[in-house]
Structure 1
Amino acid sequence: MQTETLPALLDSDDNVVVSAPTASGKTAVAEVAICKTLQEDGTALFLAPLRALTNEKEREWERFEELGYSVYVVTGERDLNPRRAERADVLVMTPEKADSATRKHDTARYSFVTDVDCCVIDEVHLLDSDRRGSVLEVTISRLRRLCDPRVVALSATMPNIDDVAEWLDATPETTFEFGEEYRPVPLNADVKTYSHGENAFADKYRRLYRAMDLVEPHLNEEGQALVFVSSRQDTVQAAKKARDELTERDIPMGARGDYDFHNDAAELSNDTLRQSVLDGVAFHHAGLSREDKNRVEAWFREGKIQLLFSTSTLAWGVNLPARCVVIRDTKYHDPLEGEVDMSPLDVLQMLGRAGRPGYDDTGYAWVICDRSDADKYRRLLRDGKEIESRLAEDLESHLNAEIAMGTIDDLDDVLSWLETTFYHVRAKSAPEQYADSSNLREHASSTLRGLVDRGFVEMADDLTVAATGLGQLASKFYLRLDTARSFADLADESEDLSEDRILRTVAAAGAFDSVSARQDERDAVDAVLGGRAESLDPGPRKVYAILRSGMNGTVPSELQSDSWVIRQNALRLLAALRAFLDRFADARAANLARRVEARVDQGVSADAVGLTAIDGVGSGRAQTLAAAGITTPTDVLDSGVDGLVSAGLGSGVAERIVESARDLPRAVVEWGDFPDEIAQGQNSMHEITVKNLAGGARGGVRVTVNDVEMTATECYLGETTLPVGVFGGDAEKLTFAVEVSYPELPLEPVVDTRTVDVI
């Protein structure tokens, strides 16, 4: 396979599409394309389907570093080193990160993405992934418009490779479709059914026993088996149960007599794994430490581990074939979607891991499923899976993003953009499946009109279009448009804003539409919320309960399994909501959202949340200091190192925290000649000065009298002077309050008051 593709890769600069069976060696094709780019002093971008795999490539491609080239994995916003990215010869990203980078290509931080000369897409059939396919599609289309790199797309076997080739403008001479005969080891794949019961927990064990029946003959012959299950926890539980079953069936396995292996196993950080590997059984998932994963993979390759339980992540990245592969679970629990079917792409990818080149004459692979699903999986094994575009499912959001970037100015631009997508190619190729898109101009026009009607885009008399502030923020934070609209509506009603309304709005966001709540979870939700939020559906109410209890670090055990994923999504939404409030409401509303965000993130009480603004202070240290009466950065500075040590911190930590606290703002109000009294019917004007005595920050200053706003301003805090009128009216007392709020920091607003008697 590699030999046949070499001329296209090396003797031309044309785009190349290669479809070949899993484990047939597509990585070598990618490396040849990258090497040609480096030889020509270009920059290569490798798009890996999963974050875990970007790290794999970073380790695997240290070979490039040894040759004098730099490899840089582009990860999260906070971790990005723009200087390293700009100097890198090989960039490695996920489609989501590349999407983010190309959206911000005109900023100094992400300008490096327009210097890409060759883009290698690993597993391009992910175009058909329900969540991630449209992201990959628009990112490649955008990248081609920005810098037109050479594209080398690699894929597992797919029936409609010609559609992908047409989309990427690959010629017939540079489009390669390799069938199953190119598999290094022939594959024998089939479907096995089991008797479905009433209890989902018992069903897992029915499927496990079925899987053990299938792997037993191969284990007896000292072959290896790879069993895919649906979750990290299931890999551990299945491995434990399998060890018992192996003993029961008297299958000879394990290396307990191997003294060196015994010593190596003792170095594993996971206790359960340490016990398991000595019996020849192990598990592998993304939650294991890198060192533990590396050891498991090495021992499996060496044959010391014969039976390995894993999540699907292993199928996409690590080249770890086995004689026998079994998919025990075809459904999995998604915290945001409930129970969902495993993607057909995942199923084919996992089955493709069967058969070890150089060791096995045949690979054996099975899908275990309920009888009602058997025909579906048999068709999948027989016919494969045509790759469809998923862009139509989220067309409005992606079109809004393009307009927000300024790459689309009018309806003709919308059409030109759509014509660069895989969606356009598939709509022509399979018009019966894309009936709604048969008239591309009308489809584009109606989508654009919808964005205008909902306030995301404005259209001028000459039909040119531009993103509104709402559209820009929706694009920046990757929001569903209905969620962005609800955030803007909340900003319009910010006078009545409360912590509770913020949490409810986030819990009701579209991202949590499909969250489900079992009965035991509903009982836990009721215990957390009592009678609150009863208007929410059970799923969003569960989200609300997780967020509210998480703010105090007390999420009930019944809600723990979904808590991490829900909180991570909520934190992204809270950051977005804060930006909406900052732009469309005021600094005090944004500050409230920022404090809620910090509490959800850190699990810290309301009185201590301001401490988390200090670099090096998390929930534990914040609660320790709060227990000693130190609840703000100002308290930290006033207490000094000795006070923090008395509160329970080590001296070195205390010194660093005091130093970090000096970087935060410290606003004081100077009232000048402000009067204590004024005669009825009289008035006078005075100046109030707000000074910042410490680190710089943006702030909002608001002046009220008897809770009625008189004046407000937002600025970068240094020294701000505000004119304030004192009017002797009917009230006996006038209470003036100056409030300073920090929209970007979880600090309590600074409030200073003066009372004027009306005589």
Structure 2
Amino acid sequence: MEVAEVLPEFADAFAFEEFNRMQREALPALLESDENVVASAPTASGKTALAELAICKTLAEDGTALFIAPMRALTNEKEDDWDRFEELGYSVYVVTGERDLNPRRARRADILVMTPEKLDSATRKHDSRRYDFVTDVDVCVIDEVHLLDADRRGSVLEVTISRLRRLCEPRIVALSATMPNVEDVAAWLDAPEDATFEFGAEYRPVELNAGVKTYTHGENSFADKYRRLYRALDLAEPHLREDGQSLVFVSSRQDTVRAAEKARDEIAERDIPMGVRGDFDYHNNDLKERIENETLYKSVLDGVAFHHAGLSKNDRDLVEEWFKEGRIELLFSTSTLAWGVNLPARCVVIRDTKLHDPLEGEIDMSPLDVLQMLGRAGRPGYDDVGYGWVVCDTAEADKYRRLLDDGKEIESRLAETLGTHLNAEIAMGTITDLEDVMDWLETTFYYVRGQSSPEAYDFPNLRRRVRDCLEDLVDRGFVAMDETDLSIEATPRGVLASKYYLRLETAVRFATLCDRVADGEAVATDDLLEVVATAAEFDSVSARQAERDAIDAVLVGQETGDLEPGQRKVLAILRGAASGSVPTELRSDAWVIRRNATRLLSALGAFLDRLAGPHAANLAGRVEARVENGVAEDAVGLTAIDGIGPGRASKLSKEGLSTPGDVVEAGIAGLVEAGLSEGVAERVYEGAQSLPAAEIEWGSFPETIETGENDVSEVTVRNVGEPARAGIRVTVNVRESDALSSQSGTDVPDDGVEMTSTSTYLRGEETVPVGVFGADADELEFRVSVAFPEQPLVPLEERRTVEVR
């Protein structure tokens, strides 16, 4: 069955000319009906074409397709692969958290590509103009739907699909690797029997011979890695000697490099005939100039390579190209490759079944990952059989043998995070009472699995468990319940927790800090860093022994006795990041921790803005900017200027230009003198002018007042820059108490008396009344402070002293 005969207008959208047997069997359900489809098939059997068939049908009907990719790295891959659709005149638009969203392009896209997490966030905000495009989807293709069983990510996929179906009722096409309970997924998605496909191992293009091999476990984990590596090479060697390729999966990016280097030495020691040093074409192609990574270049010459997301796109593309061509015979990779690029090998070995996660510590590799990796064994058209091996400790061998023999039933993970997702639905307004809760739950995979396995899911007590969960949300301040009619609605705390994707324990901690600030307690940079470091999102972070000294050095002088080692590690990374110098020993985990911390600091700023005031929110914004950019406290305002990152901020600060006001005053000529090129200087100058800028005018503020008398004066706050929301605060202190000694990075002195506090959209000027009372003191010192909560600008602060006679 040729593609051109079935879909003549889309023939160029497919990477092949004929459909295989599996694709032919599913084709009528995909093209000749509008029913939901669920298809389970072995890895490498051609499931991607099923997704493309469903997309083509929708495009032919002038509809919009949504493709949910299991991870961010694969969204970029789909964007590249689907240039074929772009060439046919259809637009493909990728929406991920690491890209700035262009709502106009998203609305006009024919094919949207998103991760479950980004789709969850977008559907929570579907009623905003920015994300309304998610309600205009005609078909939703879920790639690797068996991720329902993944820790944390599974429940996100589950509730997001349930929500999307309620919002716009798209057709659902769900694809997965082989799973024993495909009928449960079909029941959840309302796919009829004739649109539910379970393609067995006979549909694999190459037979898979999979097994488990053990190694002798030692006391040194570093040495164990090499024991497993030698075991992996033992398994790969026979195939390498026959010019077959081998793919070895390891746990981290760094391990791919180390394993490749060690393997090159071992291959030479074993005298395995590999490598391309005599390949004239390789040298003729200026190999060294084409590869950016020096270590990779040396490895490739020996027929060995490594692949991970940290390599440049150029180097990854070259590795993939040369592996497909057979020039690279032994490839070390992280698990991402198993989910993405189709790079089959005659022999696949999983060297590491455990991995270090910066946020979770040491964890077992997901059974889904294991099966996905082994599924890469066997090259269609080249091999009659593929060999896949799991290398593990003897104690775990039976567990992996059972996995290979029986597969992995797909379970729901919703119960583990039920409160978080229930809060999100209430915050969106889709749930207003207990019956709504039950109606929502019935749309989930959790409910379907509960019916299939009532004892395992404690299904008879489901209603009680849901009621307990709801009561817990009420008790913790996320939900308010009307005692009269038992209706429910989200509190500000609940709305913020949902909007910023927080774990409930973290939201409680943030709200507690807001209460302290609202009660007049002073908070400083270190207070905010500590509340983020102790967030539930970092609960599983562990501190390795080799990291302890570096952590202690960063935190010297700070009281952290109540913190766990993992929390101290996060705090040390954040303090180091804020100062622009994370210790070398902590850098391997620092990127992930910093990225999550900036998201949490942004959320904390929103909590403070809503529950404690704009000055506290401004402090959180400055701390966030420092952690993200690594700039000094006095220069953090520079990061608000478009075009200024850490490097330029540091350069300008050293030249005495530490605020946007300094930049405006210096002008383009002054910026050029400070070391910027003229073009950059022009953009920076324009960016600084586009920010708000406050001035304070004291007017006829008195210099003296008689004891017992009072006077009402006015202070004018003027915004001479772009309009913006501002917080204006007036406090007074008695001079003789030394209450005005400044505290670096503090939000409010704890013994100052607040006289006026207002939040306003400052366009032009605002007049603030200030009462001056003749107190029993020598002097009164008034402080006017103006902060912009949505910009990391250092607040403008001025003081006036009034002598009491």
Conserved? CA contact 1:20–1:26, under 8 Å: yes
Q: Which moved more, 1:462-471 or 1:426-435?
A: 426-435
The aligned counterpart of 1:452 is 474
Q: Could you list the runs of 4 or more consecutive aligned residues of structure 1 that deviate by over 4 angstroms after TM superposition?
A: none
Which of 281, 284, 288 in structure 1 is aligned with 2:304? 281
Tell me, what secondary structure is at the counterpart of 1:522? helix
Q: Does 1:633 align with 2:657?
A: no
**Letter of the 2:755 counterpart:** M
Alignment-derived partner of residue 578 in structure 1: 605
Q: Secondary structure at the match of 1:725?
A: strand
**Is this contact kept in 2: 1:265–1:278, CA < 8 A?**
no
Matched residue, 2:784: 738
Q: Map of 1:286-301 to 2, 5 A cutoff?
A: 286-301=309-324
2:100 alignment partner AA: D
1:153-189 deviation digits (Å, cap 9, x = unpaired): 0010001111101000111111110111111000000
User: Would you say the 8 A contact 1:553–1:603 is kept in 2?
Assistant: yes
The residue identity in structure 1 corresponding to 2:530 is R
Matches of 2:564 and 2:485, distance apart in 1? 45
Answer whether contact 1:415 1:440 (CA < 8 A) is retained. Answer: no
Percent of aligned positions that are identical: 71
Q: Deviations over 1:9-37 (max 9, x none)?
A: 11111111000101000001111111111
Pairwise CA distance, 1:657:
1.5
Whole-Å separation in 1 of the counterparts to 2:280 and 2:803: 88
Measure how far apart 1:520 and its partner are. Answer: 2.0
**Matching of residue 721 in structure 1 with residue 767 in structure 2:** yes
Q: Provide Cα deviations, 1:674-693, integer angstroms capped at 9, x if missing partner.
A: 22222222222222110011
Tell whether 2:268 aligns with 1:247. Answer: yes
Aligned to 2:18: none
In structure 1, C-alpha distance between the alignment counterparts of 2:63 and 2:675, rounded to whole Å: 55
Q: Which residue of 2 aligns with 1:403?
A: 426
Q: Is 1:598–1:612's contact at 8 Å kept on the other side of the alignment?
A: yes
Distance 1:35 1:549 in 2: 50
Tell whether the 8 Å contact from 2:532 to 2:600 is kept in structure 1 after alignment.
yes
Contact kept, 8 Å, 1:534 with 1:541, in 2: the verdict is no
Structure 2 partner of 1:656: 683
Aligned AA for 1:717? L
* TM-superposition CA deviations, 1:299-328 (whole Å, max 9, x none): 111111111110000000111111100000
The aligned counterpart of 1:96 is 117
1:471 and 1:49 mapped to 2: Cα distance? 28
CA contact under 8 A between 1:663 and 1:696: conserved in structure 2?
Answer: no
Q: Which moved more, 1:616-625 or 1:22-31?
A: 616-625
Kindly provide the amino acid, as one letter, of the partner of residue 628 in structure 1: E
SS at match of 2:202: helix
- Alignment counterpart, residue 147 of structure 2, candidates 120, 126, 129: 126
Evaluate the alpha carbon distance shift between residue 78 and residue 383 of structure 1 in structure 2; reply closer, same or farther with a 3 A threshold. closer
Q: Does the 8 Å CA contact 1:735/1:755 hold for their aligned counterparts?
A: yes
Letter paired with 1:650: S
Shift of 1:211: 0.6
Distance between the aligned counterparts of 1:356 and 1:750, measured in 2?
66
Alignment correspondent of 2:550? 524
Q: Compute the displacement of 1:295 (Å).
A: 1.2
**Residues 320-399 of structure 1: pairs in structure 2 closer than 5 A:** 320-399=343-422
What is the deviation of 1:564? 0.9
Quick check: 1:611 aligned with 2:638? yes
- Aligned with 2:461 (options 439, 460, 473): 439
Counterpart secondary structure, 2:554: helix
Question: 1:134 offset after TM fit, Å?
Answer: 0.2
How do 1:592-611 residues align onto structure 2 when only pairs under 5 Å count?
Answer: 592-611=619-638
| Aligned counterpart, 1:507 | 533
2:700 to 673, 690, 706: 673
CA positional deviation for 1:367: 0.2
Residues 16, 170 of structure 1: 8 Å contact kept: yes
State the match for 1:318 in structure 2.
Answer: 341
1:341-369 CA-partner distances (Å, limit 9, x unpaired): 00000000000000011000000000000
Q: Quick one: distance in 1 between partners of 2:360 and 2:440?
A: 31
Residue 743 of structure 2 corresponds to: none
Indicate yes or no: 2:522 matched with 1:496.
yes
- Determine if the alignment matches structure 1 residue 269 to structure 2 residue 314: no
Shift in Å at residue 622 of structure 1?
Answer: 1.6
Instruction: List gaps (5 residues or longer) in structure 2.
Output: 1-21, 734-751
Match of 1:712 among 747, 750, 757: 757
Q: Shift in Å at residue 649 of structure 1?
A: 2.7
Task: List aligned pairs for 1:195-274, cutoff 5 A.
Answer: 195-262=216-283, 263-266=285-288, 267-274=290-297
* Distance of 1:209 and 1:746 partners within structure 2: 53
Alignment-derived partner of residue 325 in structure 2 = 302
The reply on whether 1:568 has 2:595 as its aligned counterpart is yes
CA contact (8 A) 1:427 1:438 kept: no
Change in Cα spacing, 1:77 to 1:519, as seen in structure 2 (3 Å) is closer
Confirm or deny: 8 A CA contact 2:785 2:798 kept in the other structure. Answer: yes
Q: Secondary structure at the match of 1:549?
A: helix
What is the aligned partner in structure 2 of residue 646 from structure 1? 673
Shift of 1:527: 1.2
Deviations 1:683-732 (A, max 9, x none): 22222110011122211000112131101101111211111122222222
> Does the CA-based 8 Å contact 1:46-1:92 persist in structure 2?
yes
* 1:415 has 2:461 as partner: no
1:55 counterpart letter in structure 2: N
Q: For 2:611, give the aligned amino acid.
A: F
Q: How far apart, CA to CA, are the structure 1 residues paired with 2:98 and 2:510? A: 23
Match of 2:92 in 1: 71
Matched, 1:34 2:61: no
1:701 aligns with 2:746: no
Alpha-carbon deviation of 1:550? 1.4
Give a deviation string over 1:637-695, Cα, whole Å, max 9, x none. 22223333333333332222122111111100111222222222222222211001112
The secondary structure found in structure 2 opposite 1:571 is: helix
1:157 aligns with 2:203: no
Query: Can you give the 5+ residue segments of structure 1 that lack an aligned partner in the other structure?
Result: none
Measure, in 2, the Cα distance between the counterparts of 1:236 and 1:42: 45
- Relative to structure 1, the CA distance from residue 222 to residue 78 in structure 2 (aligned partners, 3 Å threshold; closer, same or farther) is closer
Q: Does the CA-based 8 Å contact 2:152-2:417 persist in structure 1?
A: no
Aligned length: 758
Amino acid at match of 1:710: M
1:531, CA displacement in angstroms? 4.9
Q: 1:56 maps to which residue?
A: 77
Q: Which moved more, 1:258-267 or 1:503-512?
A: 258-267
1:556 maps to 583
TM-score of the aligned structures, taking structure 2 as reference length: 0.93
Distance 1:611 1:171 in 2: 59
Cα distance between partner residues in 1 of 2:472 and 2:698: 52
CA 1:531–1:634 in 2, change beyond 3 Å: closer, same or farther?
closer
Counterpart code for 2:801: T
CA drift at 1:616: 1.5
Q: Distance in 1 between matches of 2:110 and 2:666?
A: 50
Structure 1 residue 131, shift from structure 2 partner: 2.2
TM-score, length-scaled by structure 1: 0.98
Structure 2 equivalent of residue 747 of structure 1: 793
